[in-house]
Amino acid sequence: MNKKGYILVISLVLIMLFCLSTVSAKDTDLNANTLEKSNDVTILNEGDSNVSQIHSQHTVKVGSDSDSIQNTIDCMNDGDILNFETGTYKDICIYVNKSITINGNGAELIGYDTPSKSNTPEIIYNDTGKGGYAIGNFATLYIVKADNVVINGLKITGGANSTSTYSNALIYAMNSKNLTFKSNVLEGSSWGLYFQYCTDGHVTNNIIKNQAVTGFLNFGSARTSIENNKVINAKNHGIDVRHGTGPNVKIINNTVIGSKEGIYLMHSTGHVAANNTLINCTISSISCYGSKNIKLNGNKMQKSRIGVLLGGGYENITVGENMFTLDNLPYPPTFAYYIAEAKSEYQNDEDIMGTFSDSSLYTPNFVAFTGIDVPKDIGINYDPILEKTGPEWIVPEGASSSEIQNMINNMNNGDTLSFTQNAIYNEISIYTDKNIKILGNNATLVGCSGINFNNTHYLDNVAEKVRKSTNEGGYAIGYNAVLYILNTTNVVVSDLNIKAQYPKYDSSKVETTTNEYKTVGIYADSNSGLVITGCDVTGASWGIFQQYCKNSTIIRNNIHDIYTTGIMNFGSPNGIIAGNTVTDAANHGIDVRHGTGPNVTIFNNTISGAKEGIYLMHSKGHSAYNNTILNCKISGITAYGSGNEVLFNNTISGSRLGILLGGGYYNITIGKNTFKLDSLPFPPTFVTYLARADNKYQSEDDVIRTYSDKETAAVDANDITVGYKKGEFNITLIGQNGDKLSYEDLSISINGANFTAKTDEKGIAVIPLSLTTGIYNMTIKFAGNDNYAPINVTKTVTVNDDRIKTILSATSKTLYLTIISKGYSYKVTFKDMNGKAIANKKISFKIDGKTYSATTSSTGIANIKIKATTTGNKKATISFKGDDKYAPVTKTLTVKVIKQSSKISAYKKTFKVKIKTKKYTITLKNNKGKAIYKGTVYIKVKGKTYKAVTNSKGKATFKITKLTKKGKFTATIKYYGNKYYSSTSKQVLIRTRR
């Protein structure tokens, strides 16, 4: 290094030392020396005249305030390193706009309790015209227009009120490249880590938790690597990748716990989500909304109700092998969904109106809405229901369970059991199998406590008759309940408070043997005409559970804080469930299922806080209307394997999904409903009015395929060559994943004809062909359906003439007009190329503009009677137009039509002069000796010409009058001919004598 280089190094070091400042809570004087500088690194290229790079390390003392830290960052240069001492730093809001590394060393930066402009650097929110960055989000740490920043080992915690504003974030990074975030802990605020237009970032080994919105937002930031992070309790999305982000965003080996949607891929392309673990994500483990070319492989999806949710115009979402352990429940079961699709054409309250069926099983799977019959008013007269009947048995306050049971045992059908008004009864488990009324009078029945649900004696507190087997004279009930109603008719239960106080169960481990799962407030089995009204039920797995109870009325009850389902209507037809309030039932608000026949009516209920508000399963004919369904975690209404149902006039608010259909549903008619679904503002989360989980995708194996909102179908058909009026055209309609599309209509156009064809169960449509020789374009159209986009392809059909070649044999001829004018039988022979005669075929003969025909005989001969009316050389065409077996053939020949020659027979003759009129007879015949009839002939003798006409024998007699003198005369006889005969003449000698 030369001398000038050393001087430059010393000068730069002095400048850096001058910039170094104290970072302390007590003293922020830039001249104080509480900021430690150590291990200055000077890198010089030997022989250079300038220093190429100097990196300095800076240490932040515990307790330093936001301004002090910011001042230090402002004095740093690209490549410098900022080290925090381990400890807590409060009320922090700082920004980085240079390429530095920050090592947190476990230090905790706590943001302001209420982030605002007053505690945010002006450069952050000022307009760009004022030198600012125009950022509207408040955050604890900003990285702005700075490449290659590294944030390592920090804990950043949101202030006390940081979750109250939607746009608040812990770290906000914008317009920066190649950022590295590793081994940090982010807790609180609305957004944990917020990337916007930051390409090629690396986010690894971070813990992000307790965000009011989203753990990590990767907005418009291409090629980010998101690996080995853990996101816990980010309320909306765990990891959110969206908007314009190009290929190769990789989300790998992350763990997301407790979000609504674990990984959310939106309006962007080309991402890979692999080997992630997604646990207890309420709606879905992974959602793809308007994204495309996505690959999902090796992910573990645990305890979400939906594995993968697709919506908003998704395209080419490839789901490979993943592990699904979804949020289903044991008997009576709740089923989960491996794939649910929210097709874009059904995403507003009007577009979803219509009748839907599972496309795996039913055709058509959608019918446009035509209306729903207005249901008849259901009137309930409470006076007779609540009126006491028979003897009244009054339960004294404080009576024990056994004492109450003894009273019931001694009652008769028609009696009334009345509890003391507002009384409290503890450790209660009672039953009735008598047709009585139970009037609660606002009394409270507190269930049994201290039950050991982990052994076989968990039902010991239940009456023997309830739990014993039917062989032992019992009802064989396996559920703990406060009140059982068994095998009764027209029982009324009113105005009871049921406080069950049974323990909750672990929903992640629940099995059929989990006894805590089988607890009920009111359990009813095999009843008819049961009425439960005005009751308040809480503290059990199931609020009201009725099984095989027909014509029941569950009305105006308040059911809340239930571990599974508020009202279960199992196999119970023709019931009314109306006017109830169900709050915070963990699974379903109202559940109607299994064999329940028509006319279960669910109306005017209010349901809040369930996973699925109204759940209609494996049953048919129900009506759900005028219900208010609030803040359900998954869907407002779900129909799973049920059918012939109408859903209308419901208000569904606060759920991300409006209506969810799955598991073989059929004829679900959705009318007009009101939706106020769980959407979020910018950056938005969109809602789903209707999602469909069709049966064909509901297993780990069946789910493996590529999905699109409108998947691309293909026509597997080749250009073909066929024979004359032969062959068939085979079309196979294939889905995007190679599956054959069965029973779909195709529109076919060829040779001016339009018709339809339907694929069979193998997706094949066979088009019979009957085309003549030529090249044809066949247009094949598939109109599309819910799953597949329309397609229009053109194929070529070439028809070769493979018919048997034929030969027409006939010779050119010369014919007299006299013959052909009367009809001449022209002989034509018709044979194949092998000389075999062809019988019964029509042969045509065209001459003089007229066509004549005849049918060939068994020897292949056609005698065609033709005519001509003029002479001349006539071109004639003989043809066979062809048929399905024999090829057409044409032959031309010449028919020469001529006049027939004529001949005059006349002989010398001697007349006496004295004969005044001398008669001279001649004969006119044709060349065949046949007389020419009515031929006009002339004779000229001695200068005088005489005319005569032949008779039928061809004879004509001239009357000669001027030969009055003796002599010899030469007479010339002429026939001038006509259209049939040629002219002729002859001279004869005529003598006269005295």
Instruction: Write out pLDDT tens, residues 200-256.
Output: 999 999 999 999 999 999 999 999 999 999 999 999 999 999 997 667 899 999 999
Instruction: Write out pLDDT tens, residues 138-185.
Output: 999 999 999 999 999 999 999 999 999 999 999 999 999 999 999 999
| Cα atoms found within 13 Å of the Cα of residue 96, Cβ hemisphere only | 26
Which position has the higher pLDDT, 595 or 111? 111
CA distance 412 to 391: 9
Contacts of 366 (CB under 8 A, 6+ apart): 354, 355, 356, 357, 785, 786
pLDDT at residue number 54 = 64
What residues pair up with 929 in beta bridges, in sequence order? none
Q: What rounded mean pLDDT belongs to the chain?
A: 91
The secondary structure of residue 979, as a DSSP letter, is S
Give the confidence band of 696 by pLDDT, cuts at 50, 70, 90: confident
CA distance 379 to 603: 12
- Whether 442 shows a pLDDT value over 50: the answer reads yes
Q: Is 487 helix (H, G, I), strand (E, B) or coil?
A: coil
Contacts of 915 (CB under 8 A, 6+ apart): none
Instruction: Write out pLDDT tens, residues 634-684.
Output: 999 999 999 999 999 999 999 999 999 999 999 999 999 999 999 998 888
Alpha helices in 450-583 (DSSP H): 464-467
8 A C-beta contact, residue 788 and residue 713: yes
pLDDT at residue number 941 = 94
pLDDT at residue number 26 = 34
Contacts of 533 (CB under 8 A, 6+ apart): 382, 385, 386, 492, 493, 494, 495, 553, 554, 555, 556, 557
- Whether 494 shows a pLDDT value over 50: the answer reads yes
Q: Is 382 helix (H, G, I), strand (E, B) or coil?
A: helix
**What per-residue string of b and e applies to 430-462 under the rule 16 or more CB within 10 Å gives b?**
bbbbbbbbbbbebbbbbbbeebebeeeebbebb
Instruction: Write out pLDDT tens, residues 908-964.
Output: 999 999 899 999 999 999 999 999 999 999 999 999 999 999 999 999 999 999 888
> Which residue in the block uniquely carries the two structure tokens 């207005």?
374
CA distance 217 to 195: 6
- Whether 84 shows a pLDDT value over 70: the answer reads yes
Percent of the chain with pLDDT over 70: 94
- Whether 27 shows a pLDDT value over 50: the answer reads no
- Residue 952's CB is within 10 A of a number of other CB atoms, namely 9
| Cα atoms found within 13 Å of the Cα of residue 278, Cβ hemisphere only | 39
Which position has the higher pLDDT, 947 or 55? 947
What kind and span of H or E run contains 403? helix 401-410
- Whether 982 shows a pLDDT value over 60: the answer reads yes
Handedness of CA 64, 66, 71, 74 (dihedral sign): positive
Please report the DSSP string for 55-78 in residue order.
EEEEEEPTT--HHHHHHHHHH--T
Instruction: Write out pLDDT tens, residues 730-771.
Output: 999 987 667 788 888 999 999 988 989 999 999 899 999 999
- Whether 569 shows a pLDDT value over 80: the answer reads yes
Which domains can be identified in the chain, with CATH numbers? Answer: 86-196 (no CATH), 213-327 (2.160.20), 721-800 (2.60.40.10), 806-898 (2.60.40.10), 902-993 (2.60.40.10)
- Whether 801 shows a pLDDT value over 70: the answer reads yes
Q: State the Cα torsion 980-981-982-987 to the nearest 10°.
A: -160
Nearest CA to 546 among 521, 512, 563, 513? 521
Q: Is 523 helix (H, G, I), strand (E, B) or coil?
A: strand
Give the confidence band of 4 by pLDDT, cuts at 50, 70, 90: very low
Instruction: Write out pLDDT tens, residues 525-566.
Output: 999 999 999 999 999 999 999 999 999 999 999 999 999 999
pLDDT at residue number 426 = 97
Q: State the Cα torsion 166-169-175-180 to the nearest 10°.
A: -150
CA distance 364 to 492: 45
371: left (phi over 0), alpha (psi -120 to 50) or beta: left
pLDDT at residue number 786 = 67
Task: Report CA-CA distances (Å) from 150 to 78, 143, 199, 245, 252.
Answer: 12, 10, 14, 21, 20
> Which residue in the block uniquely carries the two structure tokens 């029945």?
445
Q: Is 130 helix (H, G, I), strand (E, B) or coil?
A: helix
State the pTM of this model: 0.76
Please report the DSSP string for 819-871 in residue order.
HHTT-EEEEEEEEETTS-B--S-EEEEEETTEEEEEE--TTSEEEEEE--SS-
Instruction: Write out pLDDT tens, residues 814-846.
Output: 999 999 999 999 999 999 999 999 999 999 999
Contacts of 435 (CB under 8 A, 6+ apart): 413, 414, 488, 489, 490, 491
Class of residue 577 by CB neighbours under 10 A (exposed 0-12, middle 13-18, buried 19+): buried
8 A C-beta contact, residue 307 and residue 301: yes
> Which residue in the block uniquely carries the two structure tokens 């919105």?
213
Token readout for 342 is 């929210």
Give the confidence band of 36 by pLDDT, cuts at 50, 70, 90: very low
> Where would I find the beta strands (DSSP E) of 467-552?
480-486, 492-499, 519-525, 531-533, 536-538, 542-547
> Where would I find the beta strands (DSSP E) of 220-305?
225-227, 230-232, 237-242, 250-252, 255-257, 261-266, 272-274, 277-279, 284-289, 292-297, 300-302
Give the confidence band of 360 by pLDDT, cuts at 50, 70, 90: confident
Give the confidence band of 401 by pLDDT, cuts at 50, 70, 90: very high
| Cα atoms found within 13 Å of the Cα of residue 587, Cβ hemisphere only | 30
Mean pLDDT of 316-332: 92
Q: Which segment of 23-27, 283-287, 894-898, 926-930 scores lowest on mean pLDDT?
A: 23-27
